[in-house]
Amino acid sequence: MEMSGKEIKHIGLRVDMESYGKLRYIARYEWRTINSQVYHLIRASILEFEREHGPIPLEETDALR
């Protein structure tokens, strides 16, 4: 899923300093920004869920807008 040219939803995220530091370490290790690392993890979670449960119908996610 490419973000350019599509609607982008901004979300705020609060994390404890230890988790933030470790996430920053992993992101740097994988040559990503923290934002792109979080996006990568979100996408991986969605793909894993859909492999186990099938595709998530987009019409059900439209109600969240």
Beta strands in the chain (DSSP E): none
CA angle 34-56-65, nearest 5°?
70
pTM metric for this prediction: 0.75
Are 4 and 39 contacting, i.e. CB atoms less than 8 angstroms apart? Answer: no
Which tokens is 37 given?
């690392």
Question: Can you tell me the mean pLDDT for 11-31?
Answer: 96
Question: Can you tell me the mean pLDDT for 26-31?
Answer: 98
| pLDDT above 70 coverage of the chain, percent | 83
Tally the residues of the chain.
65
Question: Can you tell me the mean pLDDT for 42-61?
Answer: 91
pLDDT reported for residue 6? 73
Are 21 and 37 contacting, i.e. CB atoms less than 8 angstroms apart? Answer: no
Question: Can you tell me the mean pLDDT for 45-62?
Answer: 89
Mean pLDDT of the chain: 89
Measure the CA–CA gap between 35 and 28, rounded to whole angstroms.
11
